[in-house]
């Protein structure tokens, strides 16, 4: 059975597919030939779980999404001081291929081409004549680094590389301008060659989602467990992606979507929600800024529907499950009656309790739901204990309510222990939201499933209810 998250992702990809506006990049033949209908979406959660939809295994060239990765590699190797001497961190407000430099002649930031070419120049030896062999060697190191971020060995698209190298007059002009300003310490041809190669690496949306989750996790790849980017470097890269990542529309992007992101003319977008998840999207038709049209639309949906804006402040979303135990292991208080105690001794292995904590948002609810669903064969009754939850956002509420539906279908029982009425308050707030129906699209995860599970104000009440359910089940 598809999980609620899978169903939601199918819903938004179906909704966004309809938009066929924009055009594929055509500055080189290889990009002009791609299937314009291609569309893939992947989400990688902080624990490495991946959800994929559509063309998530189709490979396309990473293009400008390489920029934050090479910047991370340069910072990892050389540290802030040396990198900051050569590249600024200010949004340029100009097109990505402008020669934007500041008063120290540094490219304004590493997300524009001037900054990206300068970034790779820092990976090369500071000599005027760099051999092809040396560029090849540095490129191998770069591929190893990118691959560690993606958790899979990435490969070069040699046709795209060949075309990029033979048509790149503008980038050549940028590299030689930087050289003439005296800020490039290596051979400009070698820097260009390395830059064209990095842009021509092939990735899938699953790769981008894992790279995004690696950045979200402070540089530790959640699939491999390896710390591939230093934590301070991940923080810096996310900051620069936030202010300079989406070409020239940064302000609008931060206010409306609120996810550090980078797009590329190959049709990819990588977005990341710090501490929580990474997103990879592919759809090659681009808008006039060079961003994937469906990619932008998909990000807007994800951010709004799932409450993923980075300033949707919440706590502890990564440690939502405080503990899981069989009810037989519950520590019984003085106030428990003989009947409750008697039942507890017989129901071992049939009732599982999921104690949640913190503020419940999409990521936390996703991991709780995944766990409750994975265990479904191991219990008859699931008790979700919300006693330690202070706030539950609309998305998390719908997700928690869906547990009832899922278990009902299997003849099992879902129950909630909610002494402070957090769930009920959230449902009531939702009813008020309905006054402005446009705010809540019913088909999204914010949509309302009106059936509340059995809600109890204490674990003892839940236990009596579980007993009644099991007696009825046995009788029936
Ligand atoms: N290879 C392309 C260039 O440097 C990448 C552009 C992009 O993705 O923005 O022009």
Above pLDDT 70, what percent of the chain?
93
Catalytic residue of the set 64, 100, 121, 303? 64
Q: Could you tell me the strand order of the sheet in which 40-45 lies?
A: 50-54, 40-45, 277-282, 268-273, 261-263
Output the CA 9–ligand 1 centroid distance in Å: 29
Ligand 1 pocket, 164 CB below 6 A?
A: yes
Cβ of 171 below 6 Å from ligand 1: yes
CB 64 within 8 A of CB 114: no
b/e map 446-462, b = 16+ CB within 10 Å:
bbbbeeebbbbeebbbb
CA 435 to chain centre: 32
Over residues 26-80, the pLDDT tens digits come to 999 999 999 999 999 999 999 999 999 999 999 999 999 999 999 999 999 999 9
Ligand 1: residue of 193, 265, 284 to mutate (most ligand atoms within 8 A of CB) is: 265
Look at residue 316 in the predicted model and tell me its pLDDT.
52
Strands (E), 339-422: 351-360, 381-392, 413-417
Q: Is it the case that residue 439 has pLDDT exceeding 80?
A: no
pLDDT at 447: 58
Residue nearest to atom 4 of ligand 1 (CA): 113
Residue 437 binned pLDDT confidence (cut-offs 50, 70, 90): very low
Domains and CATH numbers, the chain: 4-306 (3.40.710.10), 321-475 (3.30.750.24)
Q: Which atom of ligand 1 is nearest to the CA of 65?
A: 8
| Total residues belonging to the chain | 476
CB atoms within 10 A of CB 338: 7
Q: Ligand 1 in contact with 292 (CB < 6 A)?
A: no
Give the strand pairing for 413-417 and 381-392: parallel
Over the Cα atoms of the chain, what is R_g? 26
Is 161 a pocket residue for ligand 1 (Cβ < 6 Å)? no
Find the mean pLDDT for residues 420-433. Answer: 78
The string of DSSP codes covering 352-367 is EEEEEEEEE-HHHHHH
Q: Give pLDDT, residue 424.
A: 85
Is residue 265 lining ligand 1, measured as CB closer than 6 Å?
A: yes
Active site residue 354: no
Q: How many CA atoms lie within 13 A of 238 on its CB side?
A: 26
> Catalytic site residue 283?
no
Average pLDDT estimate for 199-208: 98
- CA 64 to ligand 1 center in whole angstroms: 5
């Amino acid at each position: 059975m598809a999980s609620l998250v899978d169903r939601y992702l199918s819903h938004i990809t179906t909704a966004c597919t309809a938009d066929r506006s924009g055009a594929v990049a055509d500055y080189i033949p290889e990009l002009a030939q791609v299937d314009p209908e291609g569309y893939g979406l992947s989400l990688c959660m902080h624990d490495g779980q991946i959800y994929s939809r559509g063309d998530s295994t189709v490979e396309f060239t990473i293009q400008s999404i390489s920029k934050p990765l090479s910047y991370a590699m340069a910072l990892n190797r050389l540290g802030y001081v040396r990198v900051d001497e050569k590249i600024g961190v200010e949004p340029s407000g100009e097109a990505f291929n402008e020669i934007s430099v500041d008063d120290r002649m540094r490219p304004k930031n590493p997300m524009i081409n001037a900054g990206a070419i300068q970034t790779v120049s820092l990976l090369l030896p500071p000599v005027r004549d760099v051999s092809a062999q040396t560029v090849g060697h540095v490129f191998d190191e770069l591929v190893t680094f990118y691959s560690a971020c993606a958790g899979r060995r990435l490969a070069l698209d040699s046709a795209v590389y060949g075309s990029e190298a033979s048509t790149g007059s503008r980038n050549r002009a940028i590299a030689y301008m930087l050289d003439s300003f005296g800020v490039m310490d290596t051979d400009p041809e070698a820097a260009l060659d390395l830059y064209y190669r990095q842009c021509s690496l092939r990735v899938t949306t699953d790769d981008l989602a894992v790279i995004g989750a690696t950045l979200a996790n402070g540089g530790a790849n959640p699939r491999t467990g390896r710390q591939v980017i230093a934590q301070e470097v991940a923080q810096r890269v996310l900051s620069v992606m936030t202010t300079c990542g989406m070409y020239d529309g940064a302000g609008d992007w931060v206010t409306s979507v609120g996810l550090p992101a980078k797009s590329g003319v190959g049709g990819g977008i990588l977005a990341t929600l710090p501490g929580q998840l990474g997103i990879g999207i592919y759809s090659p038709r681009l808008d006039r800024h060079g961003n994937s049209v469906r990619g932008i639309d998909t990000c807007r949906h994800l951010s709004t529907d799932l409450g993923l804006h980075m300033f949707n402040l919440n706590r502890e979303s990564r440690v939502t499950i405080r503990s899981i135990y069989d009810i037989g292991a519950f520590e019984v208080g003085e106030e428990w009656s003989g009947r409750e105690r008697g039942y507890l001794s017989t129901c071992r292995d049939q009732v599982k309790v999921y104690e949640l904590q913190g503020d419940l948002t999409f990521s936390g609810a996703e991991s709780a739901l995944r766990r409750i669903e994975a265990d479904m064969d191991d219990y008859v009754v699931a008790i979700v204990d919300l006693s330690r939850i202070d706030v539950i956002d609309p998305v998390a509420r719908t997700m928690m309510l869906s547990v009832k539906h899922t278990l009902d279908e299997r003849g099992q029982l879902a129950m909630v222990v909610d002494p402070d009425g957090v769930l009920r308050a959230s449902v009531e707030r939702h009813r008020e939201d309905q006054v402005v129906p446009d705010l809540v699209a019913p088909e999204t995860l914010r949509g309302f499933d009106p059936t509340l599970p059995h809600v109890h104000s204490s674990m003892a009440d839940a236990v009596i209810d579980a007993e009644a359910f099991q007696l009825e089940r046995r009788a029936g």
